[in-house]
Amino acid sequence: MNLINSDEYRKFIHDEGFAFEKRKFKLYTFSRLLGNFEINKEKNSIMFFNKVKLIISSMDDNFCNYLMQTLLKFGEIRLGRNILQIDTVIAKNFEPADELKVVTRSPVTVYSTYLDNFGRKKTLFYHPDDKKFQELLEKNLIKKYQTIHSKLPEGRISVIHAGKKPKKVQVIYKGFKITGWMTAFDLYGDPMLLKIAYETGLGAKNSLGFGLIETIKK
């Protein structure tokens, strides 16, 4: 969170977030690096050609304002060991809609946890065509709505998997393997719930770079 130039707000985002019951949401997400690239397996590296695009999305106006201030002031960001010069910054607002066709720009992950016969905690990740996947996606968006508005939404939302060949992606984070999917979805329903989906991401682990979606032409 080095892009946030307020120590107090950075601590809030990192340590607290927006709480609902026992859950905490940070209400932002970001894409993978987008652009033409080449993978070097021997050096375990990725080389991008020309420009690289990064999408960052949030419902939190403070987050967006701090981010824009930093990007416009310094003109560069550090990603790992790399310093990137900022060429263009584009800000977009969500246009209200009751239907969206989207593709993922970072993998969507949906899971549940349980205890096995030995009392050990296990995690079960779901495939986008699994009925449980859709159910948990929709419940997650409703919980985010409650976190933001302190009440249940009046409308509902349907998230339909529309990808013909979903790509499985596995990411290791702090020794834990997270399974997600790069694919496409059709979203229908309450415009406010669609706004939450678009600006905060689908599924879980959004603040780790999961679930960012981008609209495609109908």
Instruction: Give CA–CA dist 189/187, Å, rounded.
Output: 7
| All residues at 6 or more sequence positions from 67 whose CB lies less than 8 Å from its CB, including other chains | 3, 4, 56, 58
What is the token pair recorded at 11?
């601590």
Residue 10 binned pLDDT confidence (cut-offs 50, 70, 90)? low
Break the chain into its structural domains and give their ranges.
7-85, 99-215
**Per-residue confidence (pLDDT) for residue 180, from 0 to 100:** 97
Residue 11 binned pLDDT confidence (cut-offs 50, 70, 90)? low
Question: Is the per-residue pLDDT at 179 higher than 50?
Answer: yes
Q: pLDDT per residue over 120-143, tens digit each?
A: 888 999 999 999 999 999 999 999
Q: 45-48 and 37-40: which strand pairing?
A: antiparallel
Averaged over 1-5, what is the pLDDT?
A: 56
Chain length of the chain: 218
| All residues at 6 or more sequence positions from 61 whose CB lies less than 8 Å from its CB, including other chains | none
**What mean pLDDT, rounded, does the chain reach?**
86
Range 99-215: architecture per CATH:
2-Layer Sandwich (3.30)
Q: Give me the percent of the chain exceeding a pLDDT of 70.
A: 88
Q: pLDDT per residue over 185-205, tens digit each?
A: 999 999 999 999 999 999 999
Residue 138, H or E segment: helix 131-149
For 121-136, give one letter per residue: b (16+ CB within 10 A) or e.
eeeebbebeeeebbeb
**Per-residue confidence (pLDDT) for residue 121, from 0 to 100:** 87
Closest to 203 measured CA to CA, from 151, 136, 148, 130: 136
Instruction: Give CA–CA dist 26/13, Å, rounded.
Output: 6
